[in-house]
């Protein structure tokens, strides 16, 4: 029996190479766990029927003496990343039976390493949401309390990892979709610098914000997956190379900026405030320099995000017209075809965002909304650039509260507010990580919380450094 709860990618690598167990043994152990838990948790929309064959191929590579960090490692993939000849639906009826005709760049890279793909995981429809309640195929439940949401939109990937149904996973993060569910489920969620990981083969949501992110049980594992998928890609002209940003060297005493007014501000639950203060104390005690900073524009991030993101959504989703991809409904004429197809294919939240996006981009309103949002985006950039001259990292809670009860946030605005701490990193394109920071007890259940660190463009390494330290000191 393999102890999956205690297993990490780094350890599995050693055990696979040392023939303690085979990739087939490992894959079988995960399949057994999935069989036991997935029905209740709904993390996977599909478990692939060739998992053991993939594992066998990995074993053959190992037998030949090949060794890659992720060879034979079973991973879960969010249902917005294309794997050739497999279904990819973005958890939407409009793509329900759509099969990918090519591999995403990240998938090609993982295939070369001999990764075992377990299946595709649930998400809010087209990644729009923070709970997976917007999936057309049912909610993913939180393993710490199944009456609560997993968070989202990468809830399926996060729950797969948090409940030992995968050793690691890929998600996508447009406004927090990797970090927020990771915080809600007590694991690590990492969003790299914009352009660090190719978006080729990722179903687009907001193209200036989208990032493929890594989900794992600890920081080292997230770093391993990140190293496997990152890199400049000719198929995505927004990708960057290692040289794009100056290398940031870690130093002995990193300075961590805390925007106290924001981090402990209105709408943040008392438990989150307390947990965050304790985390900061621990960082201080360890020797980090803590600096009180003020970010005047950051309050506007959420408004900026909820204008720019739907604007980009409305243009990106125009392609799903029932002619080129997926679902098709026949009407009286072409316009009627569109209407029927989109009406039947898109859920409520997706339609809402397309409508808002179309509105903010329309001729009469462009300057008042989209134009203004871009101006504030510039002001935010300047503010953060200046701040990063004074501090190495910025820390906030990941979310203003714990995972909510399924169905509790039925009005969209209250769900949007949960994104208050995560959207800024996407607006600016900077890297950010969410780390487990402890639990709070509610109704006899222990619900996880997360702390978020943000770093300047290209400074992923600082996040891994501080993350590993925080992991070691958080329980002291
Ligand atoms: N929760 C945010 C939203 O609803 C973020 C989504 C994401 O990152 N894909 O837009």
Give the Å distance between the CA of 206 and the centre of ligand 1: 10
Residue 246: pLDDT band with limits 50, 70, 90: confident
Query: What is the separation of C-alpha 374 from the centre of its chain, rounded to a whole number of angstroms?
Result: 24
Ligand 1: residue of 121, 130, 172 to mutate (most ligand atoms within 8 A of CB) is 130
Q: What's the whole-number mean pLDDT along residues 103-112?
A: 98
- Give the H/E segment covering residue 215: strand 212-216
Measured from the Cα of 426, ligand 1's closest atom is 8
Give the Å distance between the CA of 418 and the centre of ligand 1: 10
pLDDT tops 70 at residue 339:
yes
Asked if residue 173 lies in contact with residue 166, where contact means CB atoms within 8 angstroms, the answer is no
Asked if residue 419 lies in contact with residue 434, where contact means CB atoms within 8 angstroms, the answer is no
Distances (CA, A) of 394 to 197, 233, 357, 456: 22, 29, 31, 9
Give the Å distance between the CA of 17 and the centre of ligand 1: 38
Using CB distances shorter than 6 Å, the residues near ligand 1 are 127-130, 153, 172-177, 205, 309, 419
Measured from the Cα of 418, ligand 1's closest atom is 1
Asked if residue 192 lies in contact with residue 211, where contact means CB atoms within 8 angstroms, the answer is yes
pLDDT for 21-56, tens place per residue?
Answer: 999 999 999 999 999 999 999 999 999 999 999 999
Percent of the chain with pLDDT over 70: 99
Query: What is the separation of C-alpha 293 from the centre of its chain, rounded to a whole number of angstroms?
Result: 27
Give me the phi and psi of 102, to 5 degrees please.
-155, 170
Measured from the Cα of 180, ligand 1's closest atom is 1
Q: What's the whole-number mean pLDDT along residues 247-272?
A: 90
Average pLDDT of the chain is 96
pLDDT tops 90 at residue 86:
yes
Token code pair at residue 450: 């997360």
pLDDT (0 to 100) of residue 245: 87
Dihedral of CA 177/183/188/193: which sign?
A: positive
In the block, which residue shows the tokens 């083969």? 201
pLDDT tops 90 at residue 476:
no
How many CB atoms within 10 Å of residue 207?
Answer: 14
Is the preceding peptide bond at 153 cis, omega within 30 degrees of 0? yes
pLDDT tops 70 at residue 250:
no
In the block, which residue shows the tokens 């490692």? 73
DSSP conformation class of 438: E
Residue 297: pLDDT band with limits 50, 70, 90: very high
pLDDT for 449-465, tens place per residue?
Answer: 999 999 999 999 999 99
Task: Give CA–CA dist 338/324, Å, rounded.
Answer: 11
Give the closest residue (by CA) to ligand 1 atom 5: 175
Asked if residue 455 lies in contact with residue 263, where contact means CB atoms within 8 angstroms, the answer is no
Asked if residue 361 lies in contact with residue 367, where contact means CB atoms within 8 angstroms, the answer is no
In the block, which residue shows the tokens 């000849």? 85
Measured from the Cα of 154, ligand 1's closest atom is 9
Task: Give CA–CA dist 352/333, Å, rounded.
Answer: 24
Catalogue the active-site residues. 78, 153, 177
Q: What's the whole-number mean pLDDT along residues 143-147?
A: 98
pLDDT for 178-229, tens place per residue?
Answer: 999 999 999 999 999 999 999 999 999 999 999 999 999 999 999 999 999 9
pLDDT (0 to 100) of residue 76: 99
pTM of the model: 0.97
Give the Å distance between the CA of 130 and the centre of ligand 1: 6
Q: Write down the CATH superfamily of domain 1-476.
A: Amidase signature (AS) domain (3.90.1300.10)
Residue 247: pLDDT band with limits 50, 70, 90: confident
Q: What's the whole-number mean pLDDT along residues 405-424?
A: 96
């Amino acid at each position: 029996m393999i102890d999956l709860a205690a297993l990490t990618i780094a350890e599995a690598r050693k055990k696979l190479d040392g023939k303690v167990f085979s990739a087939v043994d490992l894959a079988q152990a995960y399949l057994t766990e999935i069989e036991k838990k997935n029905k209740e948790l709904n993390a996977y929309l599909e478990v692939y029927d060739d998992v053991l064959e993939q594992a066998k191929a990995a074993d053959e590579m190992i037998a030949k003496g090949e060794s890659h960090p992720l060879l034979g490692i079973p991973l879960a993939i969010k249902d917005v990343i294309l794997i050739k000849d497999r279904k990819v639906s973005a958890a939407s009826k409009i793509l329900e039976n759509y099969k990918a005709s090519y591999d995403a760049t990240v998938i090609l890279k993982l295939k070369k390493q001999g990764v075992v793909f377990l299946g595709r995981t649930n998400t809010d429809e087209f990644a729009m949401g923070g709970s997976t309640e917007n999936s057309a195929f049912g909610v993913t439940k939180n393993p710490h309390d199944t009456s609560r949401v997993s968070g989202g939109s990468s809830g399926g990937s996060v729950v797969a990892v948090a409940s030992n149904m995968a050793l690691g996973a890929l998600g996508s993060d447009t406004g927090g979709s990797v970090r927020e569910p990771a915080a809600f489920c007590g694991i690590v969620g990492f969003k790299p610098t914009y352009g660090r990981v190719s978006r080729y083969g990722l179903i687009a949501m907001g193209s200036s914000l989208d990032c493929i992110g890594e989900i794992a049980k600890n920081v080292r594992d997230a770093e391993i997956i990140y190293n496997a998928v990152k890199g400049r890609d000719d198929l995505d002209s927004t990708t960057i190379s290692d040289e794009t940003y100056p290398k940031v060297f870690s130093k002995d005493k990193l300075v961590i900026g805390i925007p106290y007014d924001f981090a402990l501000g209105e709408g943040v639950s008392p438990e989150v405030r307390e947990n965050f203060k304790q985390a900061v104390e621990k960082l201080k005690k360890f020797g980090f320099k803590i600096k009180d900073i003020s970010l005047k524009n950051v309050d506007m991030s959420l408004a900026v995000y909820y204008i720019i993101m739907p604007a980009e959504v409305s243009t990106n989703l125009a392609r799903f017209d029932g002619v080129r991809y997926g679902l098709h409904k026949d009407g009286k004429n072409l316009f009627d075809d569109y209407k029927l197809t989109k009406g039947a294919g898109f859920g409520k939240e997706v339609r809402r965002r397309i409508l808002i996006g179309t509105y903010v981009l329309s001729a009469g309103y462009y300057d008042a909304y989209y134009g203004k949002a871009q101006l504030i985006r510039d002001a935010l950039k300047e503010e953060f650039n200046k701040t990063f001259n004074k501090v190495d990292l910025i820390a906030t809670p990941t979310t203003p509260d714990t995972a909510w009860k399924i169905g509790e946030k039925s009005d969209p605005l209250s769900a949007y507010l949960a994104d208050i701490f995560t959207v800024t990193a996407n607006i600016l394109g900077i890297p950010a990580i969410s780390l487990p920071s402890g639990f709070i007890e509610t109704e006899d259940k222990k619900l996880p919380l997360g702390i978020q660190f943000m770093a300047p463009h290209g400074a992923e390494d600082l996040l891994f450094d501080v993350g590993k330290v925080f992991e070691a000191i958080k329980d002291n």
